[in-house]
Structure formats: C-alpha cells, structure tokens
Chains A and B, each alone.
Chain A
Amino acid sequence: DTEVTQTPKHLVMGMTNKKSLKCEQHMGHRAMYWYKQKAKKPPELMFVYSYEKLSINESVPSRFSPECPNSSLLNLHLHALQPEDSALYLCASSQTPQGTSGNTIYFGEGSWLTVV
C-alpha cells in the first residue's frame, strides 16, 4: 500500500472561517510534508515533520498551522486565510526525511482550496 489519503478533496472557505486539511498514511513513514501548489507552478514546500516533530517551516504565515498528532496523521489548520491562499495543497510522506538515499516520496491526491 503506497497510499497517502487527503481530505477533503475540495474546500471553499470564507476569510473568517477556521477549517482543517487532513492527511493520513499507513506505510510506516516517519517524514510527512505539506506542499502548496499554485496554477501552472511546481509544488512549494511549506512544512516538514520528521518523527512527529516539526523540522522545517519554510517561512509560512501563521494563518497556516500544522499539526502531527501521531506518526500516521498530519493536519493543516487554516484560519483567516486570504484569497491568494487559494491553491492545491499536497500532503506527502517518505520513509525518512529527504536527503537520505533511496527515499521515494509519495503524494496524496491533494486538497483544492478556494478562499472567498
């Protein structure tokens, strides 16, 4: 099973709403990631969790708040977003953090977020 599951697939939220994106994997991977992708651009790294601890935060605004409740789950809490935050949000996982050899990364189907 090489599956990373993301919910919801589509989310429309107002600028005053609070919502969460969820990600789950059962491959025993110890590194999990959030990426943001705007139209016609490559994915950009937001956060990396390594062994359930936040190891990389790519200067992401505080209106995005990640959480890793356990080794299989990764959440992204959203609050007071702006219309320019509308994008595809991709979750991914790998056996160990990127940078070690032989470490394929697997992506979920993504959550399409629209902020109105």
Chain B
Amino acid sequence: GIQVEQSPPDLILQEGANSTLRCNFSDSVNNLQWFHQNPWGQLINLFYIPSGTKQNGRLSATTVATERYSLLYISSSQTTDSGVYFCAVTGANNLFFGTGTRLTVIP
C-alpha cells in the first residue's frame, strides 16, 4: 500500500500561535483528505485537496501532488484545535491514513 508519513508526531502550542503540519506520501494519488479527530474520537473532514490550495477560516491546506506532499496550516490556534490531525490518501479503493500529528493547544 501507499506509505503516508506525517510530521511532527506531536506538537504543543500556546493559544494564538501558528503551526504547519506536513504529510508526505509515497506514490501518486487521486485524492488527499485532511481530518481532525477530536478527543471524543470523531473524525471530522477538514479538506478534500488532491492538489492546489484551499482555505477555511483559520485553516488552510496546500497539496503539491507532483512532489507528493501536503501541508496543513493552522493560524491563531485555539484550545478547541487540540486533537489528532490525519491526512489520508486514496489508492486501490482504500483510504490510507498517515501516522497523525497530535496537537495540544494550551491556554
């Protein structure tokens, strides 16, 4: 299967700080999605972004498919941003999840 690596594995931020999360994948993909898993376990779609740049409020994402990476930017972080961020790519009718970045935002 496709290998998906995320960095950093853990990140602690002060409220109000900005951050960049990275997702590297090993093969060309049709789709790339970013998810936030909240402390209660729910996976929430943030972006569907196979290429290009998208923005949604304080979050934005960029995927450079030719170089096989995607970045998730979080600006002015809030405590509610805490949780695990996963990128996931599609291949062979399966969704391959990355290793995740655990974000903790402290007040």
How many chain A residues sit at the interface, stated as a range, is 20 to 34
Contact A42 B98 (CB under 8 A): yes
Q: Using a CB–CB distance below 8 Å, which chain B residues touch chain A?
A: 30-31, 33, 35, 40-45, 48, 50, 86, 88, 90-95, 97-100, 102
> B residues within 8 A CB of A48?
93-94
| B30 nearest CB neighbor, chain A only | A101
Minimum distance in angstroms from A90 CB to a CB of chain B: 7
> A residues within 8 A CB of B31?
98, 101-103
Complex CA–CA separation, A106 to B102 (angstroms): 21
| Choice from A42, A44, A104, A112 contacting B86 with Cβ under 8 Å | A42
| Choice from A37, A42, A45 contacting B94 with Cβ under 8 Å | A45
Minimum distance in angstroms from B37 CB to a CB of chain A: 9
